[in-house]
Amino acid sequence: MLDIKEEFRDSIASVLKAECDNLSLRAHVDGENDLDLSLWQHATQLGWLSVMIKEEFDGLGQDFSMIPVFHREFGHYLAPGDFISIHTFIAMLQAINDADFSKQYLPELAAGHIKPLVPVTDDHIALELKNGLLQGISGPLLGPAGASIAAVRATAENGDPTIAIVNTKTPGCAIKAMPVLDQTRRRLCTAACSEEQPLIVLQDDLFTRANSALHTSARLATASDSIGVGYRALQSTVAYLSERQQFGQPIAAFQAIQHRCANIAKNLKLAECQLAAALAQLINGDDDNEAWIALAKAECDEASTQAAAESIQLHGGVGFTWEYDCHFFLHRTRLNEQLFGSPNNLRGEALESFTSDFRPTSQ
């Protein structure tokens, strides 16, 4: 019998295979259909949004292990729609464990009635919390079109970092879109707040728990998306190499080409194994799980970007044309590299975590 993960994966893959064919994706990029809204409707009907929400709040009560299952399929099909943000927002709400706030918002999130934005960097830009009101501009936020709620980073009056959750539909909050190279996901924006009253402010221990959940969920999701894109790039490249003829035979028969493809596959598999190991540590409750997830995201992003870049090279001149998908692969992986920490920053963060216990204390 299929377990719940396999059933979940099959549910997602069957929908994406039917909805995200090449023509539909290109039509969406050209603004000729609402593929992202169609996938959102499927998500609400099939329980994709509620998979990690506790059963008491109308969810399925699953753990973080469902995130890679979901987002790898979305990466593989280059599917639009920023579901990374809703899974991350849900993880944050459940981490702070505010009964009243959870009761009000988690069932609405499960039903797809609320679309959230989440911060993609640790930079609060110029957003400050003074006298309980937010003033300034947030850092980049990720989320679907029509988002009605946002988690933003800000600085409290005492200088401490905070995460504030705001209603984006009020007069005191203006959402402004940002240009994004990745045409399959065009949903980066900023929030400009003018004396905006937050719905809730997360400080001290609540901030620590929410920030940890944000990093964990978002990085797992983004790394999994990258792995999906990377394997799709490899699959597309091998298919092309098997058909393209040179000197009377497919160019896939040349040993140098085979070595390059094997190197792509090796790097993707190593990154995938590192992600699986980091997830296992998270599920087992190991102390350094957040650092290992950071390292896994760095490896997954770099392996998938290499796969996308090699895809363009191995396609030759046609790899640069609109008719082939190579540019979609590269743009998506390049964006993933910058969301929730670049590879270099993530490795520095992990190093900081691993060495913090070995520093001498001041006398």
E strand or H helix at 171: none
For residue 3, give both structure tokens. Answer: 């377990």
Helix 289-315 to helix 255-284 angle (10° resolution) is: 160
For residue 305, give both structure tokens. Answer: 């970007």
The confidence score (pLDDT) of residue 63 equals 85
Asked if 296 and 216 touch (Cβ cutoff 8 Å), the reply is no
In the chain, DSSP assigns E strands to 116-119, 128-130, 133-137, 141-142, 149-155, 161-167, 173-178, 188-196, 200-202, 245-246, 249-250
The confidence score (pLDDT) of residue 219 equals 96
Q: What is the pLDDT along the chain (363 residues), one digit of tens a residue?
A: 357 888 889 999 999 999 999 899 999 988 898 999 999 999 999 889 888 888 888 888 888 889 999 999 999 999 998 899 999 999 999 999 888 999 999 999 998 899 999 999 987 778 999 988 999 999 999 998 788 999 999 999 888 999 999 999 999 999 998 888 888 887 789 999 999 999 999 999 999 999 999 999 999 999 999 999 999 999 999 998 888 877 778 877 788 888 999 999 999 999 999 999 999 999 988 778 899 999 999 999 999 999 999 999 888 878 788 778 889 999 999 999 999 999 999 999 889 888 876 656 554
The confidence score (pLDDT) of residue 2 equals 53
For residue 233, give both structure tokens. Answer: 């790039």
Residue 10 burial (CB count, 10 A): 12
Asked if 185 and 222 touch (Cβ cutoff 8 Å), the reply is no
DSSP alpha helix (H) spans, 77-134 = 83-96, 99-110
In DSSP terms, 246 is beta-bridged to 249
* CA atoms within 13 Å, Cβ hemisphere of 322: 7
The confidence score (pLDDT) of residue 287 equals 76
Q: Determine how β-strand 149-155 pairs with β-strand 116-119.
A: parallel
Cα 28 to Cα 8: distance, rounded to the nearest angstrom: 25
Q: Which domains does the chain have, with CATH numbers?
A: 1-113 (1.10.540.10), 115-202 (2.40.110.10), 207-358 (1.20.140.10)
Which amino acid is present at 132? G
Apex CA 34: angle with CA 229 and CA 105, to 5°? 85
Residue whose C-alpha is closest to residue 111's, from 44, 59, 157, 177: 44
The confidence score (pLDDT) of residue 38 equals 92
Asked if 215 and 294 touch (Cβ cutoff 8 Å), the reply is yes
In 244-304, DSSP assigns E strands to 245-246, 249-250
Q: Which residues of 46-70 are buried (b: 16+ CB within 10 A; e: fewer)?
A: eebbbbbbbeebebbebebbbbbbb
The confidence score (pLDDT) of residue 1 equals 39
The confidence score (pLDDT) of residue 357 equals 63
Secondary structure (3-state) at 91: helix
Place of tokens 């009243």: 100
Look up the pTM and report it. Answer: 0.92
The confidence score (pLDDT) of residue 266 equals 96
Ramachandran angles phi, psi of 340, nearest 5°: 60, 30
The confidence score (pLDDT) of residue 358 equals 61
The confidence score (pLDDT) of residue 159 equals 87
